[in-house]
Amino acid sequence: MITVYGSNQCSKTVRILELCKERGIETNYRDFEKDLKSIWEFVVIRDGEKSFDKTKHNKRLGIPGIICENGFTFDGGEEPFDDESVMARIEANSKN
């Protein structure tokens, strides 16, 4: 199972969730709109991970924020956005 932090107002978050569902990847979706506490939870994670340094430098929140089963964490909304590249990273870091 992966954890996805984001919002239904974010097209990238929605797309990643759709692709995970299509590919049978179980997700724990932490929806910022439904649970404001999850925003703070994500910011603490983001601020402690070097993988989000570029995101913070560019003054982005970093959603969809993705945490894979093996602990690999990354900003799934990096520009340019390529959903297949994001899915490849998820699949490479998830248990089969």
Condensed to tens digits (0 to 9), the pLDDT of residues 53-86 reads 999 999 999 999 999 999 999 999 988 899 999 9
Of residues 38 and 96, the one with the higher pLDDT is 38
pLDDT for 94: 85
Q: For the chain, how many structural domains are there in total?
A: 1
C-alpha distances in Å from residue 2, one per residue of 16, 31, 59, 80, 92: 11, 14, 25, 22, 12
Domain assignment of residue 32, given as a range: 2-92
pLDDT digits (tens, 9 = 90+) for 12-50: 999 999 999 999 999 999 999 999 999 999 999 999 999
The alpha carbon torsion through 19, 88, 73, 78 (nearest 10 deg) reads -80
CATH number at residue 43: 3.40.30.10
Provide the whole-model pTM: 0.93
Asked whether the beta carbons of 45 and 19 are under 8 A apart, the reply is no
Asked whether the beta carbons of 70 and 64 are under 8 A apart, the reply is no
pLDDT for 96: 54
